[in-house]
Amino acid sequence: MVQEWYSASELTGLHGLPGTERGVQLRSKREAWLSRKRQGSKAIEYHIDSLPKEAKAALLDQAIASLPEATCALVLKDKQEIATAADLPAPASLAKWQRDTMDARLQILQLIDQLTQTVKLTTAIERVVDHAKNGTLPEHIQALVPVANARSGGTSGKQTLSRRTLFRWRELRGIGTTALAQAEAPKKPIPAWAPYFLKCWQKPQGVSIPAALEELAMILPKGIDMPSPSQADRFVRKMSAVDRERGRRSPKELKALKPFRRRSTDELQPLDVVLCDGHSFKARVAHPIHQKPFHPEVCAVIDACTRMVTGWSAGLAESAETVADALRHSISIGPHKEFGGIPAIFYTDPGSGNIAKVNSDPVFGRYARLGITFKTGIVGNSQARGLVERLQSSLWVKAAKQLETYTGHGMDPSAEHRNYRILMKDIKALGRSNMLPSWMQFLDMCRQAVDRYNNRPHSELPKIQDPQTGRTRHMTPTEVWSVFANNGWTPDTVTQQELEDLFRPRIQVKTRRGEVRLFGNIYFNANLQHHHGEQVFVEYESQDGQYV
């Protein structure tokens, strides 16, 4: 800080002054410096305005060099104060580089404000300009000079300051804080060649810029200059991610770049909404009939509230029965499965197994017979089922990676090919391969994977303090389910006999003279004689064709 009064000892040795106190005192008398007795002391002190120009400059230099970083801390004006100035941008609308430039200019002006408490404004500005030129400003202030001089786009400016610039910044600050923000350069018009270039470049084949320019040269109308590769590259870089990928990606893939609606499950209870999805298992296992390698179909049912996998099933291929078996397992409760129940809403993709009439028919379908509201997502909009889509990765893909026969993303192609050759060689020689898990081993692995998932902390569930480690962690699906159960919540259920009856396949056929025909067989019941010619529902056992 620059003082107004200095003693002879403080002035000794300054540029333009004697090197002894006595010499300073004699000169002060000779030049009649304004003086006074220092309070509480016999010492005489002299006013800074009486000192020679060289001495005043030296004192100012000392003050600038000794300013701490905290002295120049940014103090923004009240938002309401700057909002009254006409044509000023709102602080929230400023780009980062504009805000950085504004902040840097404010701190340099605040340094000048500190100095003008004891010296004239012009003197303070001149000293700051000189120090900036020589690079002798305090380190934290010197680093702000190129930021304060930044041009449009945030490019660092020159390392020096000028009187005119600093006076102009002071005037702008008087209008409003955001007036110090560097204005953006006016946007350049879209080049005339741009629409033709995009027609060549925005293709699903992923055309490169040089290839697009080759095609552009053949279709560009006369009178329009051909862009250089660097011009085309800069144009593409300035486009938004969505505009840049439009045409190069399908509408489905483009959704991954667009905003989305995040759904909350906070107000749900268990089984209010469950999601079901099938998945082609990403590892080869032995087929239960011919023992050759194949990819089985797995299907899981997950509760939206607790993230609990309440049921699952595995089949030889995607089918209505695999979906139905997963739902049956989700509903069933027994000695070895304490969680489950009938869901209120069953949400799936519109796959063939999910929408098969045996499941979705509004009259005799399994969903209707159980009182379940069946809903499907929009075709091609898999991100709307993100909850169950993520399950595939954290459950089934994670389990598949434990096997040598894994074939999914991330598997080394050479290792995959080598393993396949080995197991096929074993099958050809022995009829089986130890590398290939049997069907029963596969089912046991799935069962263990589901159990691990349900007892593993889930990042979307509330946090608790672990009773064993004392550390904070997310709850597991099993723990959240138990909280609801302990608070009095109970699921809607059916008996095992009712469950078997509900999931017995049913078909609608016409009865004639007490008989029905099904799969080439004829069945008779005397009670049907009064329903001749009517459509009736017939339930059957897939494994036993003796009766219906």
- Report whether pLDDT(50) > 80: no
Q: What share of the chain is helix, strand, coil (3-state, %, to 5)?
A: 45, 15, 40
* 66-80, 145-159, 260-274, range with the lowest pLDDT: 66-80
Model pLDDT for residues 421-450, shown as the tens digit of each residue: 888 888 888 877 888 898 889 989 999 999
Model pLDDT for residues 369-397, shown as the tens digit of each residue: 888 999 887 766 666 667 888 888 899 99
Helices 121-134 and 96-115 cross at an angle (nearest 10°) of 120
- Report whether pLDDT(132) > 70: yes
Residues in contact with 117: Cβ distance below 8 Å, sequence separation at least 6, in sequence order = 1, 2
pLDDT value at position 80? Answer: 39
Please tell me whether residues 476 and 511 are part of one structural domain: no
pLDDT value at position 330? Answer: 92
Does any domain span residue 472? yes
Domain end marker among 30, 47, 66: 66
Model pLDDT for residues 271-322, shown as the tens digit of each residue: 999 999 889 999 999 988 788 889 999 999 999 999 999 999 888 887 787 8
Please tell me whether residues 248 and 350 are part of one structural domain: no
What number is the average pLDDT over the span 323-351? 88
CB-CB neighbours of 258 under 10 Å:
10
- Report whether pLDDT(74) > 80: no
Does any domain span residue 545? no
Please tell me whether residues 358 and 478 are part of one structural domain: yes
pLDDT value at position 51? Answer: 75
Question: Could you tell me the end-to-end alpha-carbon distance of the chain, in angstroms, rounded to an integer?
Answer: 101
Please tell me whether residues 426 and 527 are part of one structural domain: no
Please tell me whether residues 46 and 167 are part of one structural domain: no
Does any domain span residue 51? yes
Does any domain span residue 378? yes
The answer to whether 307 and 295 are in contact (CB under 8 A) is: no
Model pLDDT for residues 442-491, shown as the tens digit of each residue: 989 999 999 999 999 999 999 999 888 889 999 999 999 999 999 999 99
Please tell me whether residues 431 and 490 are part of one structural domain: yes
- Report whether pLDDT(153) > 70: no
* 89-93, 211-215, 440-444, range with the lowest pLDDT: 89-93
Model pLDDT for residues 220-232, shown as the tens digit of each residue: 999 999 999 999 9
Q: Which two tokens stand for residue 502?
A: 């509900």
Share of the chain above pLDDT 90, in %: 26
What number is the average pLDDT over the span 39-49? 75
Helix (H) or strand (E) holding 303: strand 297-303
Please tell me whether residues 132 and 281 are part of one structural domain: no
pLDDT value at position 214? Answer: 94
pLDDT value at position 479? Answer: 95
CA nearest neighbour of 246 among 192, 190, 198: 198
What number is the average pLDDT over the span 29-42? 76
What number is the average pLDDT over the span 74-87? 45
CATH code of the domain covering residue 310:
3.30.420.10
Please tell me whether residues 435 and 384 are part of one structural domain: yes
Does any domain span residue 463? yes
pLDDT value at position 78? Answer: 41
Share of the chain above pLDDT 70, in %: 88
Domain end marker among 41, 66, 91: 66
pLDDT value at position 41? Answer: 76
pLDDT grade for 79, boundaries at 50, 70 and 90: very low
Q: Which value, to the nearest 10 degrees, does the dihedral of the CA atoms of residues 159, 165, 170, 176 take?
A: -90
What number is the average pLDDT over the span 246-259? 80
Please tell me whether residues 308 and 225 are part of one structural domain: no
The model's pTM:
0.60
CATH code of the domain covering residue 41:
1.10.10.10
pLDDT grade for 523, boundaries at 50, 70 and 90: confident
Does any domain span residue 174? yes
- Report whether pLDDT(81) > 50: no
Please tell me whether residues 287 and 304 are part of one structural domain: yes
Does any domain span residue 81? yes
Please tell me whether residues 408 and 480 are part of one structural domain: yes
CA separation for the pair 362, 283 (Å, rounded): 37
pLDDT grade for 98, boundaries at 50, 70 and 90: confident
Domain end marker among 66, 97, 119: 66
- Report whether pLDDT(72) > 60: no
Does any domain span residue 163? yes
Please tell me whether residues 94 and 212 are part of one structural domain: no
Q: Map residue 439 onto helix, strand or coil.
A: helix
What range does the domain containing 380 cover?
273-496
Q: How many domains does the chain have?
A: 5
pLDDT value at position 480? Answer: 95
Residues in contact with 322: Cβ distance below 8 Å, sequence separation at least 6, in sequence order = 278, 297, 299, 313, 314, 315, 353
Q: Which two tokens stand for residue 85?
A: 């100035």
pLDDT grade for 353, boundaries at 50, 70 and 90: confident
